Structure 1
């Protein structure tokens, strides 16, 4: 453990309560493009509509808004960390949502293959046991588990990212929320479990799921001491293999697991009712449930390698001009992504409430998924990158054979659920609902290899993230013929317990840029200048959001402090445009360069919208795109095709000689 004085440790500042007038002005600016579109389509004139919104904003500021601002400032004064995270955010953004976590909320992340693993194993040629697992599947799982927990231990001891920097404080605090925690379903609003206050066997163990059975596997020794040591990859592997032998024996006897996993992927109220029934009627389930909640993290070993059938919607969603090789590669890529997101083959082999779960299939394809509320997806991606940057080390599995006895404080144990026929019926109903969600999820990855962040920065002379956001604006308009409110996640990690703020990508300048690209009279120089202006605005909004000067979290806090029961109301909040300007049909987030990831994703917020996560690397950009087959207005395949089309068009707009001419003209 590092030793240092308290005075040498930097402190993160508190998230500020923004100035009310500045927030209102920024809000009015943010709705200008909506008003321009309304006017263009026969609605009220821009000037009249804007004047009305300004009148409502002014009245709000001098009336109820001033009261709400005082309440928010007072609330912040009595909040331990900040007014947002301590009081509102996790409940309103996550825990009060009743939609299933499956696809709708949980994030997913697909890893690249491990070059240290033989190609015969990657092709699935070593699957020869009753369970369906493979030698290298288990070995890679043990290695990745060890690496992830090694990262956790190095953070805890401050060997990595010590608290001598603000980044270290943020990362250590955020990463701690990934482990030994899970979401608990409750009627109307869920809660998060509390990690054990003292060392326990459950907290030093892994939640392993195989064939829908749950097991507790010890991964630290001695597990209940105050200073346990993380087991070696070889020791973890031996314990996993011991569990697989038990599963093989159970399958041979014709046993079948109660599929608790699929219940956790159901509507939150349904899951809350079913869990309450299981815990009240069968008290032994309480101990099993606590062990699952307190486990350090999850590991799901699938017994099948998911592939697309030629007649499935997934297989038919490939570009018609693609070569057979390219088509096969895309199919394999999407199949891998769906394995991590979940498919009908493995949906019961997940505990969706767990904050972090590693998934490995028989062909050694691996990835991670997790419950979103404890921390944002960047955090598990950092943990995952540490895990996979080093491939399986053969030397770590050499030496004396590990013996798994009955001692060692129970190296593993079954976490079986007791259920009656009523609960089996509920599980079957949950599975049918899960199947509908998965069947409706139009999820794919696009690897755009034309250029990446290096070209955008060095040749186009523009911000890569803003460039990608402007591309998405144009893609949306080309596929829908209209604009929409667009959400981009911006981290507020510079603040104590900071989470995120909304960046409203649809601006007056982004609208001008899109329309210039569709105007045949606009020159390439005019289009570049419009793009440049839109990106300048986007960069400013990014800085404001990251430094606690965004608008959406502030407006949320004000609105939640209003007391309708006392007759408090405001035309400002009741305006239909207020809701429309925050209807995020295009929900987006950039993650990292993603060199070690095949792809990532999260579900669309609206059934006729898209959920888009992108990985921007120096020479390529990967887009994870999710929409719904049931919507006639969306198509992930069509969106992918237009992304390529738009990025090629933007390349022409930003050709080196054109940019040079524009820069020269300003000298």
Structure 2
């Protein structure tokens, strides 16, 4: 009989896969694809009487040819050299997070932060869904606390299992990508700075702040422990149970209630993070200079594992003239009010810390969702984490034998020392935030005529490409013109891969739209045109996903220019070059899943 050790020694260890490096595309290939992407815009200019297609194409083709054999070759060689010097990825190591996010000065509210609106939890009692409860304290309800504690526990459980390899182990490429991406979601924050922000580094694993949750109620910030204390720095911290997390939240709620009863009100520091980034940078510098306590509170907020905002009011909006068949008999205004709650509205816009990459939001009716600062990772990553957090509903039994109401201790106020300048800046930032909210909207139209199964099974089309064509048609029918269109394609097959742009407006998509609005076109002609447009979209998707897109390459080439040495090129100065990247129609998508009522992402410059 063989010994166990003999059997084990004959089993080859599973080789850990590696992700390939993101390639630097060939220059000529990129230029050819770039010219092809300009064709629908040039044809549209001709249709509108601006310039002939042949003349416009000849100009751009000549510029591309000259670029390729002059400065373009120099820039390409510099990009190759940068790639050789980059440890992981020529794009992500050097440019992407700054150019795509941190240099952008627009407020994070609406403009940049992603958001997810969750479906209601079927295990929450119907009586709790009204948000009106006799057990309410400071406007916070019992089931609001339970659902918040439950989802926090689930999200952090996903984090721990991913880290330990129990979920999506690093023996798969998906595991490598997801673990590397998810690690950027927790224990960090975005720091405002003039011209370009900074993403702070996570604290040491044994830092007490790393084991805390940032809790916001009535515009006050608190830190509560969500991991048990360890006996030594080498011990692995144990995640608290949902009941223990709920006890910590409840203790804070009681403290908030006492503060309100005494007539105290919070200085809404959180609203400063929703402001223009240069305004926030100046205010943050002033705020930290006022007192060492402010710096300590701020450091705890940045280092905290994630955020939780409990709103004390359930947002409602008047009935809308637009009606749709929403699921589960929910009204359109209730659905839209939920989306507005997660995006931000006049009643809760200050009850946030917008610089955290992941913040859970729960209101008194237990409506929930999440939002986060976008730069550390792409929005698909938190949507995967959030799905794990809500796929199992609240187990009421997990809260049985709840703690007897005694203060569990460990939580702390994160208060601020402020002056009149900060108070005035908070008022001004709040006014600006309300203008942003009032100038934006979000809604979901539930279309039940057909869906993904019909598109794939009967029409035999890829659902994403099909919907992209629908968006092109809808834009044209409402605007009377075409526009450059942005769609995100993940490059996660590469080491530290992020995204590439798919330019959805093509000659073929434009041709299909024009046939759809032409009353003389036959159904057969329209269908054939749609087939061709979707085939082209599929090819562009594959190219973008495999590192053969054009926009990231063009960005890299542009950044290789040395204007301080007098370098410039008409290729990058072309009006059409700029217009081809003005994404009036931005179609970035998140996982729709079966657990989200709606999702939203950043607006693009």
* Counterpart for residue 503 of structure 2: 504
Q: Deviation of residue 256 (structure 1)?
A: 1.2
Within the candidate set 98, 110, 121, 2:105 is matched to 98
Runs of 4+ in structure 1 over 4 Å off: 4-7, 322-328, 402-406
Q: Deviation of residue 213 (structure 1)?
A: 0.6
More deviation, 132-141/518-527:
518-527
More deviation, 294-303/413-422:
413-422
**Structure 2 residue 550 is matched with structure 1 residue 548:** no
Distance between the aligned counterparts of 1:195 and 1:127, measured in 2?
Answer: 41
* Counterpart for residue 528 of structure 1: 527
Alignment map for 1:300-379 (pairs within 5 Å): 300-308=309-317, 310=318, 315-316=319-320, 318-319=322-323, 329-379=331-381
* Counterpart for residue 232 of structure 1: 241
* Counterpart for residue 274 of structure 1: 283
Cα-to-partner distance string for 1:597-642 (whole Å, 9 max, x where unaligned): 0011135436xxxxxxxxxxxxxxxxxxxxxxxxxxxxxxxxxxxx
Indicate conservation of the 8 Å contact 1:465/1:590, yes or no.
no
Partner SS state of residue 352, structure 1: coil
Indicate conservation of the 8 Å contact 1:94/1:373, yes or no.
yes
More deviation, 209-218/225-234:
225-234
Q: Deviation of residue 405 (structure 1)?
A: 5.4
Indicate conservation of the 8 Å contact 1:181/1:192, yes or no.
yes
* Counterpart for residue 291 of structure 1: 300
Indicate conservation of the 8 Å contact 2:192/2:278, yes or no.
yes
**Structure 2 residue 190 is matched with structure 1 residue 183:** yes
Cα-to-partner distance string for 1:69-123 (whole Å, 9 max, x where unaligned): 0111101111111110011110000000110001110111100001111101001
The verdict on how the C-alpha distance between 1:361 and 1:559 changes in structure 2, with shifts beyond 3 A counting, is same
Distance between the aligned counterparts of 1:324 and 1:18, measured in 2?
Answer: 45
Indicate conservation of the 8 Å contact 1:457/1:464, yes or no.
yes
Structure 1: gaps of 5 or more residues: 607-667
Distance between the aligned counterparts of 2:321 and 2:294, measured in 1?
Answer: 43
Within the candidate set 35, 39, 51, 1:44 is matched to 51
Distance between the aligned counterparts of 1:7 and 1:324, measured in 2?
Answer: 48
**Structure 2 residue 561 is matched with structure 1 residue 562:** yes
Q: Deviation of residue 392 (structure 1)?
A: 0.6
The verdict on how the C-alpha distance between 1:371 and 1:323 changes in structure 2, with shifts beyond 3 A counting, is closer
Partner SS state of residue 595, structure 1: coil
Distance between the aligned counterparts of 1:198 and 1:471, measured in 2?
Answer: 48
Q: Deviation of residue 222 (structure 1)?
A: 1.7
Structure 2: gaps of 5 or more residues: 1-10
Within the candidate set 60, 72, 80, 1:73 is matched to 80
* Counterpart for residue 251 of structure 1: 260
More deviation, 47-56/159-168:
47-56
Distance between the aligned counterparts of 1:423 and 1:545, measured in 2?
Answer: 46
Partner SS state of residue 183, structure 2: helix
Q: Deviation of residue 400 (structure 1)?
A: 6.2
The verdict on how the C-alpha distance between 1:205 and 1:5 changes in structure 2, with shifts beyond 3 A counting, is farther
Distance between the aligned counterparts of 1:400 and 1:377, measured in 2?
Answer: 35
Q: Deviation of residue 394 (structure 1)?
A: 1.8
TM-score (normalizing by structure 1):
0.87
Higher relative contact order (CA 8 A, sep 6+): 2
Alignment map for 1:94-173 (pairs within 5 Å): 94-126=101-133, 128-173=135-180
Cα-to-partner distance string for 1:499-536 (whole Å, 9 max, x where unaligned): 00000000000000000101111111110110000000
Q: Deviation of residue 125 (structure 1)?
A: 2.7
Q: Deviation of residue 397 (structure 1)?
A: 1.4
Distance between the aligned counterparts of 2:13 and 2:428, measured in 1?
Answer: 55
Within the candidate set 8, 12, 18, 1:11 is matched to 18
Partner SS state of residue 369, structure 1: strand
Q: Deviation of residue 44 (structure 1)?
A: 2.6
**Structure 2 residue 69 is matched with structure 1 residue 62:** yes
Q: Deviation of residue 318 (structure 1)?
A: 1.9
Indicate conservation of the 8 Å contact 1:127/1:133, yes or no.
no
Aligned residues: 593
Distance between the aligned counterparts of 1:144 and 1:324, measured in 2?
Answer: 25
Q: Deviation of residue 255 (structure 1)?
A: 1.1
Partner SS state of residue 442, structure 2: strand
TM-score (normalizing by structure 2):
0.95
Distance between the aligned counterparts of 2:328 and 2:210, measured in 1?
Answer: 45
Q: Deviation of residue 198 (structure 1)?
A: 3.6
Indicate conservation of the 8 Å contact 1:35/1:49, yes or no.
yes
Q: CA RMSD in A?
A: 1.8
Indicate conservation of the 8 Å contact 1:238/1:402, yes or no.
no
Partner SS state of residue 527, structure 1: helix
Cα-to-partner distance string for 1:389-434 (whole Å, 9 max, x where unaligned): 100112211246367657xxx5211111110111101101111111
Cα-to-partner distance string for 1:257-299 (whole Å, 9 max, x where unaligned): 1211101100000000001001012221010000000000000
The verdict on how the C-alpha distance between 1:483 and 1:132 changes in structure 2, with shifts beyond 3 A counting, is same
